[in-house]
Amino acid sequence: MNYPNGKPFNTNKSQVGRTHKGQTHRIDYGGRGMSLENDIEQSNTYYLNHGMAVIHKKPTPVQIVNVHYPMRSKAVINEAYFRTPSTTDYNGIYNGRYLDFEAKETKNKTSFPLNNMHEHQVKHMEACYQQHGIVFLLIRFKTLDEVYLLPYSNFKKFWERHIKEIKKSITVEEMRKNGYYIPYQYQPRLNYLKTVDKLILDESEDRV
Amino acid sequence: MNYPNGKPFNTNKSQVGRTHKGQTHRIDYGGRGMSLENDIEQSNTYYLNHGMAVIHKKPTPVQIVNVHYPMRSKAVINEAYFRTPSTTDYNGIYNGRYLDFEAKETKNKTSFPLNNMHEHQVKHMEACYQQHGIVFLLIRFKTLDEVYLLPYSNFKKFWERHIKEIKKSITVEEMRKNGYYIPYQYQPRLNYLKTVDKLILDESEDRV
């Protein structure tokens, strides 16, 4: 399914942090500034501990090529490569419903660039949507510090527009019209399931 | 969620193949004899291509410590460690239903040893079951070449027996009583969703 890709730096920032090309670098898991990812992780832990939902981030797909087993100590992977994920980063179950979503951040103030998305990820979202899953994107505009839940059903038209090379991005205005704004709250900070409830309600009305 | 563990050799066979301790070894992705895993992968591809379900194996959780970015070529992970998975290996959606399962093979002719399972994986299965997911194990007895689907609801008692150190394994007879035998067929070879249909039917009757 997955295949090694040439640009892990772009596709795996969340996992390896920022590193300058042409040098070896220790990964700083602390301040990697992935606040959307951290917020989602906190929310998922909260949901799990409160028996509300079971949602996990999938591990980064890695092609393991070489493993060393030193005596009396744990195995060391000393050659591996990043693969392009063939699915979204997050999925799980919420009240018997299958949830599937991708989370993206952009520094861009005015729009969300769609080159952030892989075509096979979108294909995966489409397939899950066809199976009646709850499929969406969580998009954070860093500079505005605004997070939106964009249902896949609304995302589709923007993706088609992108494929047809009409427009490469989704403007903030379009996001506000087509997505749900998620206000930060106390606990969990990013309570996106509250917004998922609205989505479920709206989609059930649409589908009836 | 995940944490590095000391025994990747036991927990990641399916990913790294058999390797002798104290030496470096190339991984043979071809004939690694993981026929249950291969069968499931074939079935999942079949289900996806026929719009029947979207089920994927999760990548092996890896703790990436060191990445090198050579000029003009893709990033190389040159230090990483295996983590203990905090969830099961497989999940996805089938007709709007959330599916979650673990797949295990055993060479043991007479019983399935429960030390193959991690406690946090069982906790995960319990949590998914509480959310009304379809949760089960696919267990293959290599020597008998028999595959069984064991619903989590039936697996529970055997796990408790194991925790209380009464019995460390599930006998083949117990598996036949508490699980569903999955016969091999033409395409897909291991059509486990057919058996999931039975499980859904039986559980709906139990829960009504």
Give the model confidence (pLDDT) of A19-78 as tens digits. Answer: 444 445 444 443 334 489 999 999 999 999 999 999 999 999 999 999 999 888 889 999
Domain extent at residue B193 = 36-206
Instruction: Give the HSE-up count for residue A14: Cα atoms under 13 Å, Cβ half-sphere.
Output: 21
Residue B208: per-residue pLDDT: 55
Q: Which residues contact B99 (CB under 8 A, 6 or more apart)?
A: B53, B55, B90, B91, B92, B93, B133, B134, B196
Q: How confident is the model at residue A2 (pLDDT cuts 50, 70, 90)?
A: very low
Q: How confident is the model at residue B84 (pLDDT cuts 50, 70, 90)?
A: confident
* DSSP collapsed to 3 states, B169-182: EEEHHHHHHHCEEE
Lowest mean pLDDT segment, chosen from A31-35, B9-13, B44-48, B121-125? B9-13
The one-letter code for the residue type at B158 is: F
CA distance B119 to A171: 46
Q: Is A30 a domain residue? A: no
Residue A206: per-residue pLDDT: 73
Q: Is the pLDDT of residue B78 over 50?
A: yes
Q: What is the pTM of this model?
A: 0.83
Q: Is A126 a domain residue? A: yes
Q: Is the pLDDT of residue A13 over 70?
A: no
Q: If you write DSSP's letter for every residue of A6-17 in order, what string do you get?
A: S-HHHH-HHHH-
Q: Is A18 a domain residue? A: no
Q: Which of A1, A3, A56, A64 to mutate to test the interface with B (most CBs of B within 10 A)?
A: A64
Residue A207: per-residue pLDDT: 62
Q: Is the pLDDT of residue B111 over 80?
A: yes
CA distance B17 to B34: 9
Q: Is the pLDDT of residue A17 over 70?
A: no
CA distance B99 to A117: 26
The one-letter code for the residue type at B23 is: Q
Q: Is A11 a domain residue? A: no
Q: How confident is the model at residue A173 (pLDDT cuts 50, 70, 90)?
A: very high
Q: Is the pLDDT of residue B31 over 80?
A: no
**CA neighbor of A119 nearest in space, from A41, A3, A36, A197:** A3
Q: Is the pLDDT of residue B4 over 90?
A: no
Which run of H or E residues covers position A200?
helix A192-207
Task: Name the residue with higher pLDDT: A189 or B208.
Answer: A189
CATH number, position A199? 3.40.1350.10
Q: Is the pLDDT of residue A158 over 50?
A: yes
Counted domains in chain B: 1
User: Which tokens in the block code for residue B175?
Assistant: 């598996």
Residues B47 and A130: beta-carbon distance below 8 Å: no
Q: Which of A12, A26, A87, A98 to mutate to test the interface with B (most CBs of B within 10 A)?
A: A98
Give the model confidence (pLDDT) of A84-105 as tens digits. Answer: 888 999 999 999 999 999 999 9
CA distance A120 to B78: 27
Residue A71: per-residue pLDDT: 84
Give me the mean pLDDT over the B57-69 stretch.
94
Give me the mean pLDDT over the A177-183 stretch.
97
Q: Is A148 a domain residue? A: yes
Contact criterion met (CB < 8 Å) for A22 and B71: yes
Q: Which residues contact B27 (CB under 8 A, 6 or more apart)?
A: A64, A65, A66, A67, B16, B17, B19
Above pLDDT 70, what percent of chain B?
83
CA distance A20 to A14: 15
For helices A152-163 and A119-130, give the axis angle rounded to 10 degrees.
Answer: 140
For helices B35-49 and B192-207, give the axis angle rounded to 10 degrees.
Answer: 80
Residue B207: per-residue pLDDT: 62
Q: Is the pLDDT of residue B150 over 60?
A: yes
The one-letter code for the residue type at A184 is: Y
User: A60 contacts in B (CB within 8 Å)?
Assistant: 59, 62, 64
Mean residue pLDDT across chain B? 86
Residue B156: per-residue pLDDT: 97
Give me the mean pLDDT over the A116-139 stretch.
96
Residue B102 in marked binding region: yes
User: A79 contacts in B (CB within 8 Å)?
Assistant: 76-78
Q: Is A171 helix (H, G, I), strand (E, B) or coil?
A: strand
b/e per residue A44-61 (b: at least 16 CB within 10 A): bebbbeeebbbbbbbbbb
User: Which tokens in the block code for residue B32?
Assistant: 């690694």
Which run of H or E residues covers position A202?
helix A192-207
Residue A181: per-residue pLDDT: 98
Give me the mean pLDDT over the B134-157 stretch.
97
User: A53 contacts in B (CB within 8 Å)?
Assistant: 131
- The number of beta carbons lying within 10 Å of the beta carbon of residue B30 is 7
Q: Is A95 a domain residue? A: yes
The torsion region of residue A188 among left (phi > 0), alpha (psi -120 to 50) and beta comes to: beta
Residue B89 in marked binding region: yes
- Widest CA span of chain B, in angstroms? 62
Residue A160 in marked binding region: no
CA distance A6 to A20: 16
Give me the mean pLDDT over the B198-202 stretch.
94
Residues B41 and B114: beta-carbon distance below 8 Å: no
Q: Is A157 helix (H, G, I), strand (E, B) or coil?
A: helix
Residue B62: per-residue pLDDT: 94
Q: Is A40 a domain residue? A: yes
Q: Is the pLDDT of residue B163 over 90?
A: yes
Contact criterion met (CB < 8 Å) for A133 and B93: yes
Q: Is A21 a domain residue? A: no
